[in-house]
Amino acid sequence: MGRTKTVGSAGRFGPRYGRKIRKKVRVIEELKNRSKECPECGKKTLKRLAQGIYECSKCNAKIAGRAYTLK
C-alpha cells in the first residue's frame, strides 16, 4: 500500500472522487474514531457504538449524540 501520511484513512479511495471530498471524509473519520470525554465520569473512555450512540468503557454509561460527535 502507498503512503497515507497526508491523506490518512481516505487513502483507500486512491485518485477517485476528488481532493475535497476525500479530505472531508478523512476529517469526519478522525472525529468519529477519536475517544471522547464522558460527561458522567470525566474520563476519555467514550467510544462510538453506532450512529449517535456512545458508551463509556469505565462507567458503562450510554449517551446519545450526533452521528460523528457528541455536541
Q: Which domain holds residue 51?
A: 36-71
Mean pLDDT of the chain: 88
Regarding whether 40 and 29 lie in a shared domain, the answer is no
Q: What is the pLDDT of residues 10-41, one digit of tens each?
A: 888 988 999 999 999 999 998 888 889 999 99
Report whether pLDDT(2) > 70.
Answer: no
Regarding whether 29 and 54 lie in a shared domain, the answer is no
Which domain CATH number covers 56?
A: 2.20.25.30
Regarding whether 41 and 25 lie in a shared domain, the answer is no
Regarding whether 22 and 3 lie in a shared domain, the answer is yes
- Count of domains forming the chain: 2
Report whether pLDDT(70) > 80.
Answer: yes
In whole angstroms, give the CA distance from residue 8 to residue 26. Answer: 6
Report whether pLDDT(6) > 80.
Answer: no
Higher-pLDDT residue of 41 and 9 is 41
H helical segments located in 1-71: 19-33
Regarding whether 45 and 21 lie in a shared domain, the answer is no
Beta strand 53-56 with 46-50: parallel, antiparallel or unpaired?
antiparallel
